[in-house]
């Protein structure tokens, strides 16, 4: 469903990778590895349509990525996108409404990530890991979005948090979703089709 | 689609309500600047009346400028802007909602406070009404043009000064016709042509402003 061919990206005029091609089918997990500066984030941002690749094409269901694609893709970047002034629940509710869906089950999603008791706390009192959990709570509400692009989903999370994300991804893959993630840690997500992509060598 | 507009508008107003200081700063700045001038120039009523509209409009433009750098900066820093760009909703709608929230928290309070300033300049009642009307039509234009400028200078070091250089020249027509409406009212000329021109600016800018801001935001986040 997600395919790239001869993809090349650069950052500040410096080539990061070139000739990158992969195909990810329904239920497939792609883990992007590589040392710092190898271009993992740049690749994910290109896949999300945020930055334009220097060369090559990205196709979703056989078509170049465009407006329809954004409906079928969830991108969670390094920055959690959590506002200090809003409560945890308001933050999650806004993120869900921005992506064009109803925010009915937010309480349950927070529970899934183990932060239900923080729901009414302004986000400025949260730790780095708790912020990350607020951002990741969207995963629990995004079952119907086929493609998940997760940039360092494990960063700043503790063991429990990592387990929640792992379970959410495994469940998504089991129902035929696609997951692309970058991580420096070991990824032991149960997946029928796991691919690893090594950048920077 | 309207849902995303309302979601962004509501969120920005909520944030403004919880950071009242920033909203009040802009309003107080406007009042102080507009009140300082009569003290510096002296109490000659005819002179004051003649320059009232110009002073109020310059103070409003500077106050708008003061608030503009924050328009996208916070969302840019915490990653929300990235989410706005990857969202399925049209980015222009999101930008328009942010501009609307900006106007409701800066332009509208300025416009409402302006007649009080006008009293200090001994403006007659109908001129006070004209001042209010010109600001109500004109300040949204400042927000719209300012949004494009704020998007262009996003992430640039020393962006605040650059933003001023960029948008103040664009504010000139609004300033001229906004102040002109009040002055022509004072001299007994029908001010409707000035107000109509302001309305035309508003119509053009509400189309061009968000579009330009969107293009600039996409470049800033590439």
Dihedral pair phi/psi, residue B123, rounded to 5° = -75, 140
3-state secondary structure of B43: coil
Confirm or reject contact between A83 and chain B (CB < 8 A).
yes
- Chain B positions touching A84 (Cβ under 8 A) are 78
**Range 36-55 of A in CB contact (< 8 A) with B:** 48-52
Determine the Cα–Cα distance for residues B20 and B2; give it in Å rounded to an integer: 27
Fold category of A1-72+146-201 in CATH: Rossmann fold (3.40.50)
Closest CA to A90 of A132, A131, A110, A120: A120
Q: What is the ipTM of this complex?
A: 0.90
Measure CB to CB from residue B78 to each of A70, A75, A83 and give the nearest one. A83
**Range 59-78 of B in CB contact (< 8 A) with A:** 74, 77-78
Could you tell me the residue ranges of all domains in chain A? 1-72+146-201, 84-143
State the pLDDT at residue A125. Answer: 93
Count of C-beta atoms within a 10 Å radius of residue B131: 26
pLDDT digit of tens for each residue in chain B (222 aa)?
A: 678 899 999 999 999 999 999 899 999 999 999 999 888 888 888 888 888 999 999 999 999 999 999 899 999 999 999 999 999 888 999 999 999 999 999 999 999 999 999 998 888 999 999 999 999 999 999 999 999 999 999 988 877 889 999 999 999 999 999 999 999 888 888 889 999 999 999 999 999 999 999 999 999 888
Confirm or reject contact between B85 and chain A (CB < 8 A).
yes
Both tokens of B28, joined, read 């107080």
């Amino acid at each position: 469903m997600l395919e790239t061919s001869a993809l090349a990206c650069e950052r500040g005029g410096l080539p990061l990778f070139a000739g990158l091609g992969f195909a990810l089918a329904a239920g497939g997990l792609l883990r992007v590895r590589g040392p710092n500066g190898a271009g993992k984030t740049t690749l994910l941002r290109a896949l999300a349509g945020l930055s334009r690749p220097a060369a090559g094409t990205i196709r979703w269901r056989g078509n170049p990525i465009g407006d329809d694609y954004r409906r079928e893709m969830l991108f969670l970047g390094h920055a959690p996108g959590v506002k200090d002034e809003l409560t945890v629940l308001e933050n999650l509710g806004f993120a869900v409404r921005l992506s064009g869906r109803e925010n009915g089950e937010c309480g349950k999603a927070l529970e899934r990530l183990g932060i239900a008791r923080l729901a009414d706390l302004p986000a400025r009192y949260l730790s780095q890991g708790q912020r990350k959990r607020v951002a990741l709570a969207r995963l629990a509400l995004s079952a119907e979005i086929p493609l998940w692009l997760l940039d360092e989903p494990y960063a700043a999370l503790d063991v429990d948090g990592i387990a929640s994300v792992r379970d959410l991804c495994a469940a998504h893959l089991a129902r035929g979703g696609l997951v692309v993630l970058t991580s420096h840690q070991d990824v032991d997500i149960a997946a029928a089709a796991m691919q690893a992509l090594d950048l920077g060598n | 689609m309207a849902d995303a507009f309302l979601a962004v508008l509501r969120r920005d107003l909520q944030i403004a309500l919880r950071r009242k200081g920033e909203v009040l700063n802009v309003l107080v700045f406007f009042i102080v600047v507009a009140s300082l001038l009569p003290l510096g120039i002296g109490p000659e009523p005819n002179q004051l009346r003649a320059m009232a509209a110009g002073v109020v409009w310059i103070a409003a433009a500077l106050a708008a400028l003061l608030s503009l750098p924050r328009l996208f900066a916070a969302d840019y820093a915490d990653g929300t802007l990235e989410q706005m760009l990857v969202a399925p909703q049209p980015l222009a709608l999101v930008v328009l909602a942010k501009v609307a929230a900006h106007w409701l928290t800066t332009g509208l309070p300025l416009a409402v406070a302006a007649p009080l300033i006008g009293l200090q300049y001994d403006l007659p009642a109908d001129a006070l009404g004209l001042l209010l009307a010109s600001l109500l039509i004109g300040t949204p234009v400042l927000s719209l043009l300012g949004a494009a400028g704020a998007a262009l200078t996003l992430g640039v070091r020393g962006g605040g000064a650059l933003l001023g250089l960029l948008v103040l020249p664009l504010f000139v027509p609004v300033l001229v016709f906004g102040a002109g409406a009040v002055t022509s009212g004072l001299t007994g000329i029908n001010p409707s042509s000035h107000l109509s021109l302001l309305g035309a600016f508003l119509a053009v800018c509400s189309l061009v402003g968000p579009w330009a801001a969107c293009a600039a935001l996409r470049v800033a986040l590439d």
